[in-house]
Structure 1
C-alpha cells in the first residue's frame, strides 16, 4: 500500500510568504533587482500597497503581471524603493560632521565621499553645500549611487520641491549653515533647482548594495536609513562592502536607528560620535 500523503494546503500566511518569495525570486532573475533579503514585513506591506492599486487579489496575480509587463514591474519598483529624504535631514548630525570630521578631512590632498542609497539627491547636495562652506568642495569628489534609475534621474536634475523649501531652509540653519540658503538654488516660474556649481563635483551612478561590489576607496561613506530595510544577512554583507571600500581611518555614517554593533565589523571601528552614528575605521 502506498504511503499516505499530506495534501493539506499551507495556512494563508504561509502560502502568502511562498508567493512573495517567488515574486522576489522572479524579480531578481528577470530584472536583476534583489529584494530577497529585505525585511519581510516592509516588503510585504509595499507589495500589498501595489496589489490594491493594481486591483489584484493575490501576490501570484501580481507576479504574473510583473513578469510579463515591465511597466507593472517599474510601478512596483517605485513602491519597493520609496525615497525618504530631505535636505540636511537630522541637522544635528550635519552639525556634528562639520565640527568633528571636517577638520580631519581638511588635512587630505583630495577627498572622496560615497553616498550609498542617495535616493533623489537631497543629502548629496547638502554635503556639497557643507563642503563648499568649509572651502573643501574644490578638492572633493562625491559619488552618489542608488538602485533606482528614476530616483537617480531626479537627483541629477537637481530640482528641489518648492513646497519643502521652508523646511529645508530651517534644516540648513540648524545644521550650521553659514550663508543664506537661497545662495544655493535658482528659482524660476515655480521651479527650484540647485546651482550648477554644486552638481559639478558629483558623479551619479546606479549601484546595488546587494549585488554590486566596491568601485573605489573612500574617505567618507554615508549610508543613512537604508539598511533598516535589510535583514541581518544583508546588513552584514553591506557592512563588509563598506569596510572594504573605506580608506584606513575613513568615516562611516549611518542612520539614527542603525549601528555597527552585532555585525562582523564591530571591532574594526571606533565611535567618533555614537549619538549621530559616525564611526572611524581603525583596523
Structure 2
C-alpha cells in the first residue's frame, strides 16, 4: 500500500461515516484541502489499507480526536496582521466603547491567540471590564489549550513585534509570566473569556454580538457552506455591529453583502441593515 492515494469514493465514505457516528459534517469543506489533510494523516500513521483506516476512525474515539486535530486548520498567532489590529484599536473600539456592554465572538479561534490579542486591546482601551469574549472552535483539543492561556516563550518575540506594530501601549511582557519555555497570560485577561466547542456547519447562533471575527477559516469551505456561515453571522450580529474576516476572505459576493459596508481597507464590514 506504499504511496496509496485515497479515492474520491473512499473520502466520501469516510465523511459519511464520521457524520453518522460523531455528528461532524465535513462534506462542505473545500475538497482539495480536506483530501490533502486526510491523505497526509493516512500516510503519517502508516495504515496498510483504507479499510483499516476507516475501521480505526469508526471504533477508536481517541484516534478520531486526533483526526479532527489534524484536519482542522490550526495556524494562528497573536496580533497576526498588525495593521488589522491597529484598525480595530483606532476605528472599531472607539465605537464599541459607546455600548454599555460588549460581546465579541471569535469563531474558529483555534488555540486562542486571537482572543488574547483582543483582550489586550480592550484592556488598553479601558473596555475589558465591560466586555465578554467568546472563543469557539470545532476542535476540543485546541479549545482546551486556549482555555489555559499558555503559549511557547519562543513565540513571544514575534508577538511582541506584532504588538508594537499594532500600536501597543505597554511592554508586551507585562501581560504574561514566563516559566522556562512557557508563557502564561494574566488571569485579568482570561477572566473575561468563555471558550467552548462550536461547529459552524451544524450549530446555531448562541448570542447577539457587536463584533464577530472569523479570520482565515472560510477559505477552507466550499461556497455553499460559506453562504450558510455568513447567514449565521448575520443572524448573530446586532445592527451596526462589525464582522471581521481574514485577508483572503470577502463578503463581496455573499447573499448578505448588501446589508454591510466595508470599513477602510481592512477586511472589516459594518452591518447597516437589519437581517431579513
Shift of 1:79: 0.9
Matches of 2:51 and 2:213, distance apart in 1: 37
Partner of 2:270: 280
Specify the SS of the correspondent of 2:7.
helix
Partner of 1:258: 249
Specify the SS of the correspondent of 2:263.
strand
Kept in 1: contact 2:152–2:181 (CA 8 A): no
Kept in 1: contact 2:154–2:181 (CA 8 A): no
Matches of 2:266 and 2:191, distance apart in 1: 28
Matches of 1:215 and 1:36, distance apart in 2: 23
TM-score under structure 1 length normalisation: 0.92
Kept in 2: contact 1:19–1:60 (CA 8 A): no
Match of 1:177 among 146, 168, 176: 168
Residue by residue, what CA displacement relative to the aligned partner does 1:164-223 show, whole Å, maximum 9, x if unpaired? 111111011111100000110011233210010000011111111000000000000000
Partner of 1:235: 226
Please identify the structure whose Cα radius of gyration is greater. Answer: 1
Residue by residue, what CA displacement relative to the aligned partner does 1:101-144 show, whole Å, maximum 9, x if unpaired? 11111111110100001100100000000000000001101111
Residue by residue, what CA displacement relative to the aligned partner does 1:63-119 show, whole Å, maximum 9, x if unpaired? 122112223212211111131100001111000111111111111111010000110
Quick check: 69-78 or 195-204, which moved more? 69-78
Kept in 2: contact 1:23–1:59 (CA 8 A): no
Match of 2:13 among 16, 19, 22: 22
Quick check: 163-172 or 54-63, which moved more? 54-63
Partner of 1:190: 181
| Superposition RMSD in Å | 1.4
Q: Count residues with an aligned counterpart.
A: 270
Structure 1 position 68 matched with structure 2 position 59: yes
> What are the within-5 Å matches in structure 2 for residues 133-212 of structure 1?
133-212=124-203
Kept in 2: contact 1:51–1:57 (CA 8 A): no
Structure 1 position 248 matched with structure 2 position 239: yes
Q: Residues 17, 58 of structure 1: CA spacing in aligned structure 2 closer, same or farther, 3 A cutoff?
A: farther
Residue by residue, what CA displacement relative to the aligned partner does 1:146-168 show, whole Å, maximum 9, x if unpaired? 11111000000000111111111
- Gap runs ≥5 in structure 2: none
TM-score under structure 2 length normalisation: 0.95
Structure 1 position 118 matched with structure 2 position 106: no
Matches of 1:266 and 1:58, distance apart in 2: 46
Kept in 2: contact 1:51–1:58 (CA 8 A): no
Partner of 1:225: 216
Kept in 2: contact 1:24–1:36 (CA 8 A): yes
Kept in 1: contact 2:78–2:113 (CA 8 A): yes
- Gap runs ≥5 in structure 1: 1-11
